[in-house]
Structure 1
Amino acid sequence: MEKTIAHLDLDTFFVSCERLQNSKLNGIPVIIGGGDRGVVASCSYEARYFGVRSAMPIRMALKLCPEAKVIKGDHERYSKLSNEVTEIIQEKVPLVEKASIDEFYLDLTGMDRFFGCYQWTTEVAESIKKNTGLPISFAVSANKTVAKIGTGEAKPLGRIEIPNREIQPFLNPLSIKKIPMVGNVTFQLLSRIGIRHIKTLAEMPVDVLQQMIGKNGAELWKKANGIDDSPVVPYSERKSLSAEHTFAQDSIDLENMRSIISGMVEQLAFQLRQEKWLTSVVTIKIRYANFDTETKQCRISYTSADHTLLKYALELFKKLYTRRMRLRLIGIRFSGLVHGSHQMDLFEDTEELMNLYQSMDRMKNRFGKTAVGRASGLLIQ
C-alpha cells in the first residue's frame, strides 16, 4: 500500500500568537526576539520582505526594517497554543508526529478508501483555524521529505497535494536549499560544482555524492529523488531530563559540589538542545549522609541555555543545602518541557552566546559530549 503523509506547519507561529493577542500587529512588520544584542527568533512575512530572517542579529534586522515592531516573546503562551493544536489533531488523526512546537506529520495511509486524504487534511486545518485562530499551511504526498518541501512552497496559508507521478516534476526546478538536510556548508560545496537545483542533484551518481560529502551523500541523493522511508513516529511528550551524582565518600566540599552541578547542568542542557527541548522548571535534590532527602525547585522562562540554567541551579542549591551535614548525593532535574528549535532558546541572550553554544554543540557531536565544556564542570567529566 502506498503511503500518504501530510505535513502541517503553523505559519509564522510566534508572530501569529502575538497577533491573536494584539490585532494592531496585523499587516505590519513584526520581529520576535530579545534585546538589541539578541537574535531574531521569528518574523512576519512583512519583515521578511525587507530581508529579515530567523537567527539574524536584532540590530541588523532593524537596519533592514527600521519600522518593525520588536516583541520579546512569550514561550508559555506559545506552548499552550501549540498544545491546543496538538490536541485537535490527535482527536482527528490516528498517527501523529509532533516534529516541533509548530509542525506536525500525519500518517494518513489507507484513509483515502473512506475519505480523500487531501480533504481530510483540509478539514483538520480548518478546525485548527476555527478553534485557535492560527493560520496553517499543509502539503500531502508520499513521504515526509516531499510533504515538508511542499508545505514550504505552499506557505503562507497554502494547501497542496503532490501525487507520486508528480513528485519529481515538482522537486526538479527547486533549489537544493529546499531539501531539509541541506545547510549552508553543503549548499556552498555543491554550488561550486554547479549543483544548485534538485534536478541536477538527483541525476548525479550516488557514489560521487558520497565521495564529496561522506555518508550523508546517499541520503541526500534519495531525498533529491523523492525517496524517504522514515516513518511517522507517534507523538509522546517527554516529562523531564535528570542526572545524579553519588559521592564515593560523603562530602562537605562546597566547591566540589558546585563543580558537579555545573557539569551536570552543561550535559543536560546539551541534551535539551540535541532533542530540541526547552525547560521551564529546575529542581535540585540532595541526600544527606543519614539518607534524609530534600528537594527544591523553581519555575523559569523556557530555555536550554547553560548559563541561565546554571544560575538557577546554584541558587537553588544554596537555599537547599543549609544543614551543613555531609552529602552522599546531588541530583538535578529539568521538567516542564516543550519542543523548541535552537534559536528559541536564546530570547534573552546575545548573538555571541548563540554562536558559542552552536560551536560547542558541533564539537560535542563530532568528538563526544565531554569534548569541550566549562572548567568548573570538569570534575564529573
Structure 2
Amino acid sequence: MNSYYPKKGRVILHVDMNSFYASVEMAFDPTLKGKPLAIAGNPEERKGIIVTCSYEARKFGVRTTMPLWEAKKLCSQLIIMRPNFDRYRAASKGMFDILRQYSDLVEPVSIDEGYMDISEGAEMGTPIEIAQSIQNQIERELDLPCSIGIAPNKFLAKTASDMKKPMGITVLRKRDIPQILWPRDVVEMHGIGQKTAQKLYTIGVKTISDLAHKEDLQLKSTLGINGIRLKKRANGEDTRPVDPDSIYDFKSVGNSTTLPKDSTNQKELLNVIHTLSTKVASRLKNKGMMATTIQVMIRFKNRKTITRSKKVKNPVQLDQSIFEEAKQLFLKHWNGDSIRLLGVTGQDLIEKEDAVEQLDLFSYEKAAEKEPLYDTISRLQKKYGKKMIKKGMAQSEPNKRENQYDTSFNKDFLRED
C-alpha cells in the first residue's frame, strides 16, 4: 500500500462535478433524466446564454455559452430552465461535506470542483479505491455524477479529471506527460485560453511539448512571468499545496448586466451603474471587505468590450463612493456608442478592519476628532484581543467560515440579480 503513497510526494485528487447545474436539476426532478436540458438566462432580456447543458443536449451540438436561439435550432426538443442558485449551493455544500469525510485538506475552487490531498490516506485504500468510493458516495447520496483526476500535483490532477467525462477516474503521472500531454495543442492546456494561445503561436509554440521546451527568455518577453509558470506546468511542475482556507481569500467582487436593449441614453446608463454599484457595495459589506480599486466594464453593440480601472485614494465600501468612482471611469472612457452590457467591480480587496484611510487636508480634521476613540479601541484590542471590539463593525460576527461559505463562489455564478 505504501507504494501508492510516496514519502516525499503527494497524492492529489481533483473532483469535478459533471454538467453540474443540469445534473442538480435532474436529481431534483428525475423526469428530466435522459432528456436534453439546458440551464440558461432570460431570453426576453437577451440573457439567453447557455450556462450548462446535459450530455444528452451536447449530442445535438449544444454547448456552454451558446446563444439560446442557436441551441434551439440545433435541438428543437431542448428543455430550458432558469438557474436556481440556492439549489446549486445546497448541492455544492453536500458534495464538499462528503469530500471532507475523506480528508481535512479539501480546497474548493468553484461551486462544482475542488482539490483533495489524500497523501495520508493509506489506511483507506489505494488512491483509485478512494476515488471510486467518493464517486459512488456522491452518486448514491446526492444522485450526482462526477469525474476525478488522480495525480502528484494540482495541475496534473485538474488535467486528468477533464480526460474522461462523465463519471471518469483518470490517473496522470509525471512519466505519462510526454505521451499524453505533450502532443496536444497548447490551447488545450489548463490555464491557457485563446488569447494566450494566439500569442504562443506567434513564437512557434504550437503544442504543449513546444511550450515545455521553449527557451525562458522568449516566453518571458511574450507572456511575462506567466510564460515561465506555464512552461513549468507543461513539464508537470506544480508546487501549490491544497489550501482549505483559500476560499476565504477575496480578490474582487463584481456585478454586470446585459441591458434590455442597446442604449446611448446617459441617464439610463448611469442608473444602471448606480444599481450595479449598490449590489457590489452590499456584497462587500456582507464579506466585511473594502475595495481599493474600482473597475468598469463596457460592452458595445458591436460586442467590443473594454475594462477600465482606477486605484482609489481611500478604500471604499459604501454604494455612493463606489458609484462616484465608477461614474467617473464610465464618463471618461465611454465614446458615445450604443452599449449592450455594463459591469462594476471592486478589486484588490482588504478586510474592513485593516483598511487605513489615507488622510488628506480635508479629511484630517474630521479624523482627528475621532483619534481619542481610536486610541481607546486600540488599547482594548491589545488587552482583550482584536475580536473584542472593532471600528465601525458589529460587536459580534458570525463564524468566518460559516458566514463566507455561501458567498465565496459568486465569481462562478451567472449573477442575474
TM interval, short-chain normalised: 0.5 to 0.7
Structure 2 unaligned segments of length 5 or more: list them.
1-7, 249-284, 292-317, 328-342, 351-391, 398-402
- By how many angstroms is 1:44 displaced? 1.6
Given the superposition, is the C-alpha separation of residues 76 and 173 from structure 1 closer, same or farther in structure 2, using an over 3 Å criterion? same
- By how many angstroms is 1:335 displaced? 7.0
Given the superposition, is the C-alpha separation of residues 117 and 271 from structure 1 closer, same or farther in structure 2, using an over 3 Å criterion? farther
Given the superposition, is the C-alpha separation of residues 339 and 18 from structure 1 closer, same or farther in structure 2, using an over 3 Å criterion? farther
Distance 2:79 2:124 in 1: 47
Does residue 32 of the first structure (1) align with residue 39 of the second (2)?
A: yes
Contact 2:124 2:130 in 1 (8 A): no
Matches within 5 A, 1:247-258: none
- By how many angstroms is 1:18 displaced? 0.6
Identity percentage of aligned residues: 29
Does residue 81 of the first structure (1) align with residue 91 of the second (2)?
A: yes
Match of 1:15 in 2: 22
Does residue 337 of the first structure (1) align with residue 406 of the second (2)?
A: yes
DSSP-derived class of the 1:60 partner: helix
Aligned with 1:270 (options 334, 345, 348): 345
Distance 1:79 1:142 in 2: 29
Higher relative contact order (CA 8 A, sep 6+): 1
- By how many angstroms is 1:260 displaced? 3.3
Distance 2:349 2:193 in 1: 17
Q: Name the amino acid aligned to 1:28.
A: K
Q: Name the amino acid aligned to 2:137.
A: S
Contact 1:179 1:223 in 2 (8 A): no
Does residue 177 of the first structure (1) align with residue 187 of the second (2)?
A: yes
Count of aligned pairs between the two proteins? 284
Distance 1:234 1:336 in 2: 12
Distance 1:156 1:175 in 2: 23
Contact 1:79 1:338 in 2 (8 A): no
Higher mean displacement: 159-168 or 213-222: 159-168
Contact 1:41 1:343 in 2 (8 A): no
Distance 1:244 1:175 in 2: 41
Contact 1:97 1:233 in 2 (8 A): yes
Given the superposition, is the C-alpha separation of residues 240 and 269 from structure 1 closer, same or farther in structure 2, using an over 3 Å criterion? farther
Distance 1:173 1:125 in 2: 29
Q: What's the TM-score once normalised by structure 1's chain length? A: 0.65
Does residue 100 of the first structure (1) align with residue 110 of the second (2)?
A: yes
Matches within 5 A, 1:1-381: 1-36=8-43, 37-38=46-47, 39-112=49-122, 115-235=125-245, 238=248, 240-242=286-288, 259-260=320-321, 262=323, 270-271=345-346, 337-340=406-409, 342=411, 344-347=413-416
Distance 1:171 1:206 in 2: 20
Contact 1:55 1:343 in 2 (8 A): no
Contact 2:187 2:193 in 1 (8 A): yes
Given the superposition, is the C-alpha separation of residues 136 and 33 from structure 1 closer, same or farther in structure 2, using an over 3 Å criterion? same
> Once the two structures are superposed, what CA deviation does each residue of 1:1-43 show, in whole Å capped at 9, x if it has no partner?
1111110001000000011122232222211111211122111
Distance 1:114 1:189 in 2: 45
> Once the two structures are superposed, what CA deviation does each residue of 1:100-123 show, in whole Å capped at 9, x if it has no partner?
110010111243476312211221
Q: Name the amino acid aligned to 1:85.
A: M
- By how many angstroms is 1:243 displaced? 5.7
> Once the two structures are superposed, what CA deviation does each residue of 1:344-370 show, in whole Å capped at 9, x if it has no partner?
23346xxxxxxxxxxxxxxxxxxxxxx
Higher mean displacement: 5-14 or 26-35: 26-35
> Once the two structures are superposed, what CA deviation does each residue of 1:289-333 show, in whole Å capped at 9, x if it has no partner?
xxxxxxxxxxxxxxxxxxxxxxxxxxxxxxxxxxxxxxxx899x9
DSSP-derived class of the 1:190 partner: helix
Q: Name the amino acid aligned to 2:69.
A: R
DSSP-derived class of the 1:216 partner: helix
Higher mean displacement: 139-148 or 195-204: 195-204
Given the superposition, is the C-alpha separation of residues 335 and 232 from structure 1 closer, same or farther in structure 2, using an over 3 Å criterion? closer
Q: CA RMSD in A?
A: 3.6
Structure 1 unaligned segments of length 5 or more: list them.
246-256, 276-328, 349-381
Given the superposition, is the C-alpha separation of residues 273 and 214 from structure 1 closer, same or farther in structure 2, using an over 3 Å criterion? closer
